[in-house]
Amino acid sequence: MSKINQSRIDKILSRHEVSLVGKNEQDNEIWEATSQSDVSKSYIIQFDNTNEQASYECECPSFKYDEDNTPPTCKHIEAVKQLKYRELTNTL
């Protein structure tokens, strides 16, 4: 993970600020995350598991514009990953 602070991810998870909203025509999962700085905004996260290498994309500025973001991620994507892991391991 990049320089993302775990406490920010924990806050997203504890406030239930990220949720699965459906799938698109390519069968990618579509998630929605509420902005922590402006609750009237939300960002869409796509999880593509149709290729050999699963990938995530987020609409938030941090994901789009952070040049030091290697591999590409953001707190919203990391929250989705942790939520999916918890669901898979039944550790909710």
The 10s digit of each residue's pLDDT in 8-30 is 999 999 999 999 999 988 889 99
What's this model's pTM, rounded to 2 decimal places?
0.85
The 10s digit of each residue's pLDDT in 26-72 is 889 999 999 988 989 999 999 998 888 889 999 999 898 877 777 88
At 1 the pLDDT is 42
Number of alpha carbons in the 13 Å side-chain half-sphere of residue 76: 27
For residues 80-84, average pLDDT: 93
